[in-house]
């Protein structure tokens, strides 16, 4: 997925939940990909195509407690 054509959301969550988050997001065909930025800090990035950002945010909010999500922030598409 090209970063200049997607919305980017960064999360900090429980490290044991990274795989579950990846499975949830990638189970919805085409709505996004999850990349681990720092496994130790449990920091991940979700890239989602234009038009799916609201759905991804709703999924993140619905799973916040179960995944131990502590921080959610949009990221600039050009940021590393």
**pLDDT digit string (tens) for 2-25?**
556 789 999 999 999 999 999 999
Q: pTM for this one?
A: 0.84
Separation between Cα atoms, residue 73 and residue 76, nearest integer Å = 10
**pLDDT digit string (tens) for 19-68?**
999 999 999 999 999 999 999 999 999 999 989 999 999 999 999 999 99
The domain 3-75 having CATH identifier 3.40.630.30: the answer here is no
Separation between Cα atoms, residue 64 and residue 79, nearest integer Å = 24
Tokens in use for 55?
């759905």
What are the structural domain ranges in the chain?
3-75
């Amino acid at each position: 997925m090209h970063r200049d054509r997607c919305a980017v959301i960064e999360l900090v969550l429980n490290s044991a939940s990274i795989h579950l988050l990846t499975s949830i997001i990638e189970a919805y065909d085409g709505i996004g990909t999850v990349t681990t930025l720092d496994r130790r800090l449990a920091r991940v990035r979700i890239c989602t195509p234009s038009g799916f950002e609201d759905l991804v945010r709703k999924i993140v909010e619905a799973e916040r407690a179960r995944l131990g999500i502590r921080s959610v922030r949009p990221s600039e598409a050009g940021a590393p």
